[in-house]
Structure formats: C-alpha cells, structure tokens
Amino acid sequence: MNFKLPLFLLLFVSTFAIAQQNITVKGSAPFPATQEYTFICEKYAFTGEIKVQIAKTDKGGILKLTIDTSNDKARIAGGVYVDLANADVIACTDKNVKETTDGKTTSYYYFTPAEWLKLKKNDIYAVRFIIAGGPDNFGNQTGHFTAYNKMNYFSTAYDKSKKSFDTAKEISVL
C-alpha cells in the first residue's frame, strides 16, 4: 500500500516530463513548446500536411512551421497569417530565420505579447503561408497554401469526436 502512492507520483511526473517539448532556434536556449501538430493542407500535393509548433519566449512566442519538400531550393517564404477560431488574424512578418535539413524546410515566426494573449484565448483555425522555390521542371510545388487545424482528412457527420487540436489550451499551459 505504501508503494502505490510514490509509484503513482513518479508515473504522473514522468508523463508531464515526456509531454513537455522544446524549440531551439539557431543556437538559442531551448524554449518550452507545445506538441508538434500536423495540420492538413489539401492543396499541397507533395505531402498534404505541415507541422506546426508554438513556443513561449520572454517576449511573446515563436511559431515553427516545418514542411517536406522535394528539393533544397524550396522554402517557406514571406509573411504568414495565423487565422484564429474567433475570425481574428495574426500577421507574422518574415525575419528570415530558416533551416533546411533532410528534405524538410523549417521557418520561424515571432509573436508579440499581445498576439500571445490572443493565442491563449482562441484556437488556431488555419495557417496561411507561401512556398517559394526554383523554376525547375518537376520541382517542388510553389504558391500560396492554407493549412487547417484538422486531425483527419475525412470525417462523417455522425462522428462526434473532436476534429481539431486544442491549441489555446496547450498554449495557456506554457
């Protein structure tokens, strides 16, 4: 009986330790982050999805976008718009913080403290972004894309389960 409570506490603490994610931006200190969400991007024919992760900093937050590409010339470029569930829009300017490794390109965008408060109160509905690349034939798909906060491509009207990620809840915990 005496061993059950310490064992339970150890399991409880280890679950939160595993669940905590971090983001490191080009050699900076790691920032606490949400899980990596997979948003559905139906118009992006190469994979149809983008990885979205949000971290808390001292001055607001960071948005990390990662997408698979067919070549190293393709990048997430220009500004990004984060559409919230309450129809509010956060415009993120491109600070040219990018990485490319193993067929994936990653871009980082920064949130102000006021934008961070909006993210804590409302779920992310969609992320609008641009992929720019070289003019190669059979190269990467380029253009304007929208990735929606959806867990699955398809669902039925009878499916009553949650169909999107609770981003506001996880952001407010950070």
pTM flag (> 0.95): no
Please give the share of the chain, as a percent, with pLDDT higher than 90: 44
For 105, the token pair is 């390109």
* Residue 25 CB neighbours (<10 A): 17
Which pLDDT does position 18 carry in this prediction?
43
Residue 85's pLDDT band, with cuts at 50, 70 and 90, is: very high
Highest mean pLDDT among 77-91, 144-158, 159-173: 77-91
Which pLDDT does position 95 carry in this prediction?
87
Please report the domains of the chain, with CATH numbers, ordered by start residue. 23-173 (2.60.40)
| Lowest pLDDT segment from 5-19, 33-47, 117-131, 154-168 | 5-19
User: Who wins on pLDDT, 19 or 161?
Assistant: 161
Q: What is the pLDDT of residues 10-37, one digit of tens each?
A: 444 444 444 568 777 777 788 899 999 9
Ordered alpha helix ranges (H), the chain: 4-19, 113-121, 167-173
Coil, helix or strand for 19? Answer: helix
The answer to whether 166 and 151 are in contact (CB under 8 A) is no
